[in-house]
Amino acid sequence: MSKKLTIGMFGFGVVGQGLYDIIKTKNLNLEIKKFVIKNADKARSLPASLFTTDAEAILADPTINTVVELIDDAEAAYTITVRALKSGKNVVSANKKMIATHLAELAEIQQQYGTSLLYEGAVCGSIPIIRNLEEYYDNELLHAVSGIFNGSSNYILSKVFNEGQAYGDALKKAQELGFAETDPTLDVGGYDPKYKLAIVASHAYGTYIDPELILNLGIDKLGDQDIRFAKEKNLKIKLIPKAQEVNGEHVVLYVLPQFIGSDNMLFNVENENNGVLVKAAFADEQFFYGKGAGGHPTGSAVLSDIAALRYDYKYEYKKHLEASSLVYSNDYELKVYLRYTDDSLVEKLAFTEIIERYYAPDFKYIIGHINLQQLINHRSAIHQDGVFLAGIS
């Protein structure tokens, strides 16, 4: 029999409202006792007595055994989560930055205090990738995990390539629909998928990796020449994070725009949808597809975690217990396309092989192989205006 959950929820935004919409349609053994919100004056769809701005109304209430954290402040989310876990409350969170940045410590706290932190909703919306990595692939050697982890940037790229919209117009529409924030840097700059990739890599390869060490290049420097280049070759550009094992000893992680063809399963993942590709030694290649943005898709993943807590579910971090856990490395060669204006950048990046080079008055690009560490060493130069770098599959 499932135990009753008495829930305190931090945040009642898009995901919080979506979660509540789903919960009220279900006959579950749970009760939401209190919501902690930031703006007390904002009109709410529920009785005012359920809302407070005082975090202690949840954290200090011994009758609340489950905390659901759905706020956008990573440091505040961290403080709430640590306090709750140490006081014997289980936590469900969707804050990918907080989890990716503090995952090693949070795993240790769970072990020490016998509590559980679940975060399926932090990675790829409605796609249950964390639970599958924990349970289905727990005894698998995974060659690679990659995909489209960010619905906002994918929506923009879909509009650019499928409807011919200008990048700026597509971004504005994504913001109007709530897929992208007023400051879209986390999404289009590749930071959001980087945090998600760090979480995925922990469950796939048993290694805690500081997200700050992972190269993330986004689509914010995408130009008309790059779009034309892709279309002429019947390719699309997708923002793809990737974790890959190398020789059974190392794991490499990076987030890059990628030119992909129609033979790639991610080619037809459009709009706010996400897709995850898992390449395994025994299960071979498998593909997960689903909504990656929006209140109801993410809310469904959060509810799945809440429901699992009724049966005392915990992540076991099984890959971390294996003696053969892989070591993180940036010593890996990538095939890339680089559009540039300053010839000195090409010399600085030190390509190991140049396959193709093109010069025109308004368009210069180079295709070749380069070491991942070189890209990390010169990431500030790559982020300059007039430069766009993408991987080539």
Q: Is the pLDDT of residue 324 over 70?
A: no
The two three-digit tokens of residue 92, written as one number: 């469900």
Residue 20 has pLDDT above 90, yes or no: no
Query: Over the stretch 292-303, which tens digit does the pLDDT of each residue have?
Result: 877 788 888 999
Q: Please, which residues bridge with residue 279 across strands?
A: 144, 285
**What's the CA gap between 259 and 279, in Å, rounded?**
19
Per-residue pLDDT for 377 more than 90? yes
Give yes or no for residue 126 having a pLDDT over 80. Answer: yes
Between these two residues, 41 and 331, which has the higher pLDDT value? 331
Task: List, in order of start, the domains of the chain with CATH numbers.
Answer: 5-130+296-321 (3.40.50.720), 145-290+325-392 (3.30.360.10)
89 is catalytic: no
Predicted pLDDT of residue 323: 57
Q: Residue 155 class from Cβ within 10 Å (0-12 exposed, 13-18 middle, 19+ buried)?
A: buried
Confidence band for 43, pLDDT divided at 50, 70 and 90: confident
Is the pLDDT reported for residue 207 higher than 80? Answer: yes
Q: What is the pLDDT of residue 28?
A: 83
User: Are 157 and 260 spatial neighbours (Cβ–Cβ below 8 Å)?
Assistant: no
Range picked from 14-28, 171-185, 255-269 for highest mean pLDDT? 255-269
Given a cut of 80, whether residue 343 has pLDDT beyond it is yes
- Across the chain, what does the average pLDDT equal? 94
Mean pLDDT of 89-100: 97
Q: What is the 3-state secondary structure (H, E, C) of the chain?
A: CCCCEEEEEECCCHHHHHHHHHHCCCCCCEEEEEEECCCCCCCCCCCHHHEECCCHHHHCCCCCCEEEECCCCHHHHHHHHHHHHHCCCEEEECCHHHHHHHHHHHHHHHHHHCCCEECHHHCCCCCCHHHHHHHCCCCCCEEEEEEECCHHHHHHHHHHHHHCCCHHHHHHHHHHCCCCCCCCHHHHCCHHHHHHHHHHHHHHHCCCCCHHHCEECCCCCCCHHHHHHHHHCCCEEEEEEEEEEECCCEEEEEEEEEEECCCCCCCCCCCCEEEEEEEECCCEEEEEEEECCCHHHHHHHHHHHHHHHCCCCCCCCHHHHCCCCCEECCCCEEEEEEECCCHHHHHHHCCCEEEEEEEECCEEEEEEEEEHHHHHHCHHHHCCCCCEEEEEC
The catalytically annotated residue of 196, 236, 242, 364 is 196
Contact 140, 261 (CB under 8 A): no
**Separation of alpha carbons 130 and 327, rounded Å:** 20
- CA atoms of 334 and 35, how far apart (whole Å): 47
- Tell me if 242 sits within 8 A of 215, measured CB to CB: no
> For the whole model, what pTM was predicted?
0.95
What share of the chain in percent tops pLDDT 70? 99
